[in-house]
Structure 1
């Protein structure tokens, strides 16, 4: 009997797979088409206005970035100008220090201009007495200056 069972397994008609397999039923109903939602004019308007609003917001953002870029360019120009001015100032400071050097000025006066120090017999000292009128005017100026200072002090207090 075992032999016969093996022989039957060779033929697809007699296999157990086909006997115990569930039968598949085909759907005989026609496919149901899904209904598209009807378009609402208000929803279309809302969608259009939303897209336009996002576009306008994007334009404002781009304009802001353009302004930032312009300001950065101006700042870089100003920084370049400041650097140039600082270099010029450093050069001029070095030149001023060179000019301030008294020995260099003395050498320039002696050799370039031909100036020399005066000797004792070349200097003449004169003493001029101060007249009385000049003294009276200076006393009046001193008195007026004191009065003005006192008035400014009191007017500043109020």
Structure 2
């Protein structure tokens, strides 16, 4: 009797298998659902990749903003006249001239001084100064 029950179950299995394979709308729907599911998984993985890229870009932007703030602060320090004067005095040894070291030259007055024209050391200076006063 055991053989009869196996034959019956095999017959019923084959009958259900045939009904399943003959049910084409169900197979077609199952294929479409599977394709849609795979497409959703692929798109989700692409979206996750784009999210990672966005996070990397945001981190890079934050780092660049920090660098920008640091550089702007350094530029302000370099541009300040007190900083420039301090570096000129201590690094380069420059000092403000005293009142007796300042010489004022009136460039509007053109006097023909003969001794200056023949002086080897002053004639180049005088010619440069005259070039600024001429139109």
Is the shorter-chain TM-score for this pair beyond 0.5, marking a shared fold?
yes
Question: For each residue in 1:61-101, what CA deviation from the matched residue of structure 2 results, as whole angstroms up to 9, or x when unmatched?
Answer: 11111111011000000000011011111111221222233
Kindly tell me the number of residue pairs found equivalent between the two proteins.
Answer: 96
SS in 1 for 2:19: coil
- Larger RCO (CA under 8 A, 6+ residues apart): 2
Question: For each residue in 1:29-87, what CA deviation from the matched residue of structure 2 results, as whole angstroms up to 9, or x when unmatched?
Answer: xxxxxxx89838652x2222111111100011111111110110000000000110111
RMSD across aligned positions (CA): 2.7
SS in 1 for 2:95: coil
Higher alpha-carbon Rg: 1
Which blocks of at least 5 consecutive residues in structure 1 are unaligned? 1-35, 132-158
Which blocks of at least 5 consecutive residues in structure 2 are unaligned? 1-14, 109-131
SS in 2 for 1:39: helix
The answer as to 2:41 corresponding to 1:62 is: yes
Look up the match of 2:127. none
- Cα gap change, 1:100/1:41 in structure 2, threshold over 3 Å: closer, same or farther? closer
Supply the distance in 2 between the matched residues of 1:94 and 1:67 (Cα, whole angstroms): 41
TM-score (norm 1): 0.51
